[in-house]
Amino acid sequence: MSYTLNDQDKEDLLTALKRKGLRPTKQRSSVYEVILGKKDHPSADEILLRVRRVLPTISLATVYNCVETLVDCGLVRQVNIDRAPTRFCPNLTPHAHFKCSRTGEIFDLAMDSTTISNLKSILPEGFLAENFDLSFIGSTKKPLS
């Protein structure tokens, strides 16, 4: 893994886990490092391959348990686009996603408060959005490598 949790990341992880009555483990820390490290919205299978570089015996079930815990603790978000495998995103600010249909890459799209207000304005009267998931699917002008 090319990324190491900094002091703030470690504190965020410890605090979030303690709020849920959980303790930090090497597996949870390693999975969190992978998700924060590349920010490419990895799937559980991709996380498994990356974590195995430092924890060769970790199982896919353990990875799933770890990401479920990280989602439950509010440290990462699940990203579900189409029927593709669930991916995980460390960006907790309000944003949308764009999936390139050519490469499969997923990009974060920043959304300012005006854009979010405009989206909420389409809700019928009496409806209150607590959260939203907005995804675009298309192709980028980015050349294939």
Question: Is 14 contained in some domain?
Answer: yes
Question: Is 88 contained in some domain?
Answer: no
Question: Is 145 contained in some domain?
Answer: no
Whether residue 13 is found in the same domain as residue 72: yes
**Tens-of-pLDDT digits for all 145 residues of the chain?**
567 899 999 999 999 999 999 999 999 999 999 999 998 999 999 999 999 999 999 999 999 999 999 999 999 999 999 888 999 999 999 999 999 999 999 999 999 999 999 999 999 999 999 888 999 999 988 765 5
Residue with tokens 């990356």: 50
Whether residue 71 is found in the same domain as residue 100: no
Residue with tokens 């410890």: 14
Question: Is 28 contained in some domain?
Answer: yes
CA angle 130, 92, 11 (to 5 degrees): 125
> Of 39, 59, 38, 37, which Cα lies nearest the Cα of 48?
59
Distances (CA, A) of 89 to 56, 86, 117, 124: 24, 10, 23, 29
Give the pLDDT confidence score for residue 21 in this predicted structure. 98
Domain that includes residue 57, residue range? 7-79
CATH code of the domain in which 122 resides: 3.30.1490
Whether residue 105 is found in the same domain as residue 131: yes
Q: Which two tokens stand for residue 97?
A: 């996603």
